[in-house]
Amino acid sequence: MLAGYDTLITNIALAVILAYSFHVVLMAGQLNLGQAGFASLAAYTSTLVVPTEPLFGSLSPVLVGIPVGAAVGGAAAFLVGLPVLRLRGVFLAIGTIAFGEMVRVFMTNAEWTRGALGLRVDKWLTVDLAWIVVAVLGYLFWRLGPSRTGRAFAAVREDELAAGSMGVDVVRTRMTSFVASGAIAGVYGVMFLYFFGRITPATFDFSLTLGGLVTAVLGGYLVFFGPVLGAGFLTAVPEIQNALGVEAGWIHPLITGLLLLAVILFLPGGLSTLVARLRPARVRPDPGTEPDGLAPLPEPGTPIAELRGLGKSYGSVQAVRSVDLEIRAGEVLGVIGPNGAGKTTLVNMISGLETPSAGEGEVLGVRLGAPSHRFAKAGLSRTFQHSKLFDRLSALDNVLVGTHPVTRSTYLRRLLWLPSARRDERRALALAWAQLRRVGLADRAHLRPGALSYGDQRRLEIARALAAHPTLLVLDEPAAGMNHVEAGELAALIKDLAEDGIAVLFIEHNVKMVLDTCTRLVVLNFGEVIAAGEPREVAADPKVVEAYLGAEDEESEHV
């Protein structure tokens, strides 16, 4: 019954494959528009290696071309990605569009491609093979979503700075998605060639890229079959138009544009948003279940960080100057000072977000100046002055990202259904649930951060940081926006963490909380340490009173 629709069904499959090449980069928050170039390179290269006769009697020669196309597209994406992945947003899009145009011009002027005349080949692609490739891609993305790698993609998409601080190698993650996009586009190029039997440089122009992007955005990236939804909807429009006998050429682009506009305004995650809302909640482990296999923390009092003559300047502005500091396991070290004293700059250097201009030091065996994900893997976890939660992920998924430094990659094992992958995912879930319970948010695990109060958002960020099983926890103004009851609960939590052996370094303007919680206090003013020692003694230091605490006379507990 479907015999007369082979061409239509195969076209849908090809549209899905092209959309998957956009799907994988959208998952990681990138806008790569170079797919036409990758597809063109792969298609032309395949003509040099694909046999002209069936393989082993009946197998399609395209079975040779598909892996060749994936290899060519992936290799090209890697080479292009080395320079262009330094760009972000619209600049990345422009850079990849330029690559696609360069490929088109090259193919037009190359002799072996026959220029604008193009190449002709035998048509070897069947509808069955096209949909087998779609099924394989669907399976790969289905197993990717809930894996550690899938969570890394989502974290990079939401906030690269926070993702790096959670232990995600942002550069590697972006490159992985970029290469995967190029490989899938290469597969598309080969299959397109051996389905239609002819290509020219103009075949792979910007309109092809635009069509694939629209399909991917319409379908969405929140579920693995988003490209199938997008391709199905866009294909249905002209078919319905033909069935009704309407021949106006403007109807298809108009409806497509309206659908895309509606998705952008009301369903930013695409049509897959509707499906994602139907997902069942993750099973909560037994309250008595504790994650195992975590490395022991250092003995209390063990030095874990040492800074010597640390400085940071921005042009002529010296934000931090000549700071000497030692941090020991199990202590609560408070850093206070007036606004602009250099507190956040200091902890940014300690956690790898800023490179020192002067001085040196090590934190958990990692030299200052290394990327932030290396500090996270060594055992440093942090929160931010302005909350950096992943807004489109649930509270539980936010905390699951925090487990990245203490869990192993599960994607390849998930593809093979190995029991060890399931065990590792259960371990990550147990760790995430344990931290949500610890901060009192277990009953709100299914909510997104935007549905939580400000105080709960701060607690969620702490839970995410604790999920990394840190040796050193850096808290940047964790009590900001909390009332006195919430601040008291936070102080109690910090003391419990120190008793467990975690070193806590926190910046805070709630002076009463600092004095009641810290075992040691450091005061900064104009980037310099003006006092350090036991909290009550430091608070009584005349230099500290003059520079900072004197402002407390007209306030109750906060500066």
Q: What does pTM read for this prediction?
A: 0.90
Residue 513 gets the label, from left (phi > 0), alpha (psi -120 to 50) or beta, of: alpha
pLDDT of residue 187: 97
Same domain, yes or no, for 451 and 508? Answer: no
Q: Torsions phi, psi of 268, nearest 5?
A: -55, -25
Owning domain of residue 448:
393-469
Q: What is the pLDDT of residues 213-270, one digit of tens each?
A: 989 988 888 889 999 988 888 877 776 767 777 665 667 677 777 877 877 777 777 8
Domain boundary residue, one of 196, 219, 242? 219
Tokens for 449, please give them. 């951060």
Question: How many beta carbons lie within 10 A of that of residue 424, not counting itself?
Answer: 21
pLDDT of residue 350: 95
Same domain, yes or no, for 371 and 400? Answer: no
> Is 290 contained in some domain?
no
What's the DSSP call for residue 49? T
> Is 17 contained in some domain?
yes
CA distance 465 to 7: 52
> Is 401 contained in some domain?
yes
> Is 280 contained in some domain?
no
Same domain, yes or no, for 79 and 137? Answer: yes
Tokens 């060749």 — which residue?
A: 68
CA distances from 402 to 81, 374, 450, 494 (A): 27, 14, 18, 18
Q: What is the pLDDT of residues 430-457, one digit of tens each?
A: 999 999 999 999 999 999 999 999 889 9
Cβ-proximal residues to 554 (8 Å cutoff; 6+ apart), any chain? none
- The three-state secondary structure class of 520 is strand
> Is 231 contained in some domain?
no
For residue 362, give the CATH number of its domain.
3.40.50.300
pLDDT of residue 24: 96
Is residue 287 packed enough to be buried (19+ CB in 10 Å), middle (13-18) or exposed (0-12)?
Answer: exposed
Task: Count how many domains the chain has.
Answer: 3
**Residue ranges for the chain with pLDDT beneath 50:** 1, 552-559
Query: Of the candidates 292, 263, 262, 267, which has an alpha carbon nearest to the alpha carbon of residue 277?
Result: 267
Same domain, yes or no, for 556 and 408? Answer: no
Domain boundary residue, one of 174, 198, 219? 219
Contact 521, 504 (CB under 8 A): no
The torsion defined by the Cα of 52, 55, 59 and 61, in degrees rounded to 10, comes to: -40
Cβ-proximal residues to 443 (8 Å cutoff; 6+ apart), any chain? none
Quick one: how far is CA 25 from the chain centroid?
10
Same domain, yes or no, for 138 and 164? Answer: yes
Is residue 415 packed enough to be buried (19+ CB in 10 Å), middle (13-18) or exposed (0-12)?
Answer: middle
pLDDT of residue 92: 93
> Is 422 contained in some domain?
yes
Same domain, yes or no, for 59 and 187? Answer: yes
> Is 248 contained in some domain?
no
CA distance 122 to 111: 21
| Residue 59: CA count within 13 A, CB half-sphere | 9
Same domain, yes or no, for 353 and 408? Answer: no
Tokens 């970029």 — which residue?
A: 178
Same domain, yes or no, for 436 and 556? Answer: no
Query: Of the candidates 324, 323, 329, 325, which has an alpha carbon nearest to the alpha carbon of residue 304?
Result: 329
Cβ-proximal residues to 331 (8 Å cutoff; 6+ apart), any chain? 300, 301, 498, 503, 504, 519, 520
Same domain, yes or no, for 357 and 429? Answer: no
Same domain, yes or no, for 46 and 177? Answer: yes
> Is 157 contained in some domain?
yes
Please, what sign has the CA dihedral across residues 215, 219, 220, 221? negative
Domain boundary residue, one of 219, 238, 273? 219
Query: Of the candidates 388, 8, 315, which has an alpha carbon nearest to the alpha carbon of residue 164?
Result: 388
Same domain, yes or no, for 187 and 44? Answer: yes
Same domain, yes or no, for 426 and 371? Answer: no
Question: How many beta carbons lie within 10 A of that of residue 142, not counting itself?
Answer: 14
